Amino acid sequence: MVVVVAMPPALSLLVLLVLALHGGAGDATPPPPLRLVRGARRVAFDEGYTRMFGDGNLAVLRDGRRVRLTLDESTGAGFASQDVFLHGFFSAAVKLPAYYAAGVVVAFYLSNGDTYEKTHDEVDFEFLGNVRGREWRVQTNVYGNGSTAAGREERYDLPFDPTDELHHYSILWTRRRIIFYVDETPIREVVRTAAMGAAFPAKPMSVYATIWDGSAWATLGGRYRVNYRYAPFVAEFADLVLHGCAVDPLAVEHSASCGDEEEEAAEAVVSSAAMAAFRRGHMSYSYCHDRRRYPVALSECALTGGAASLGRLFGPDGMKRRRARRARDASS
């Protein structure tokens, strides 16, 4: 027997509002499937991942095809790949918390910090929470061999609202390069050079997805902290792709051919024009132009696509000049 309980109109409206604010009014529309790397396939959660922390705040939905991570006053949540990889293509479609999410950090990244505590490698997508009425920022970063003193951060606006629906965020990691993608657009390429040395990630890494409280730094340098009156903060993950060379992380040597297929695929999926256009229109901070942190730019900055032509858009703190932002906004 089904019992229907009528709610007062005011209460009904309040429930609908809460659901809308926290993404509970229905599943996000799935984005079109990626066509970046041939043979890459989506995996169900239990097929490729394991729960890491915040078990009560991690919900696996749709036969393992979607995962919801929640941050509340008690904890955040996260999951990690069952395998450890040396090179590959890794992707997730992500929908970010809506409304007010200052201080909230959602991340999709590769790391081996659990295995190499002081010499770890890391490749990051970090979504840095928003103040109400402002857009989310996405940050990419690369660490190699514990080189955390030399951050290689870049931050970007996004040409869409990442809280409205799912969008793909992908990392292609090969022996010679790392490429970050938003949907099918390459937004950053890090090329391995002799000058970078061990600062280029080269040890096996796991794949992670997390949501956590980054009040100390995430939104305008920590000016705006997480306000738990707006909790719970919900991030949704789908289209989980693990396409790489699974290895024993403690092995002394690994196959020389690890990553060859991904390296070949990379040659076909980098559109220099598309990447240059995205960076010109949407990059809001670049370590290569931050002369306060790095009076002498790091070696790879001279090789960054369009670095010279973009230099006039950035101030000495590495932030995009306001005039350049206004000109961009006026033309959009």
- Supply the residues annotated as catalytic: 122, 126
Q: Do residues 93 and 170 lie in contact, with contact meaning Cβ atoms separated by under 8 Å?
A: no
Buried b (16+ CB within 10 A) or exposed e, 35-73: ebbeebebbebeebbeebebeebbebeeeebbbbbbbbe
Q: Around Cβ 34, how many Cβ atoms within 10 Å?
A: 19
**CA–CA distance, 317 with 191 (Å, rounded to integer):** 24
Question: Residue 304 carries which DSSP code?
Answer: S
Which tokens belong to 165?
């629906």
CB-facing half-sphere around the CA of 62: CA atoms within 13 A: 15
Q: Do residues 284 and 319 lie in contact, with contact meaning Cβ atoms separated by under 8 Å?
A: yes
**CA–CA distance, 8 with 13 (Å, rounded to integer):** 9
Cα 41 to its chain centre, rounded Å, is 19
SS (H, E, C) 78-99: EEEECCEEEEEEEEEEEECCCC
Q: Do residues 259 and 245 lie in contact, with contact meaning Cβ atoms separated by under 8 Å?
A: yes
Instruction: Provide the H-helix boundaries in the chain.
Output: 9-21, 45-48, 260-269, 272-282, 307-310, 322-331
Q: Which amino acid, 259?
A: G
- Spatial neighbors of 154 by CB under 8 A, at least 6 apart, are 139, 140, 141, 188, 283, 285, 286, 287
Q: Around Cβ 8, how many Cβ atoms within 10 Å?
A: 8
Q: Do residues 258 and 86 lie in contact, with contact meaning Cβ atoms separated by under 8 Å?
A: yes
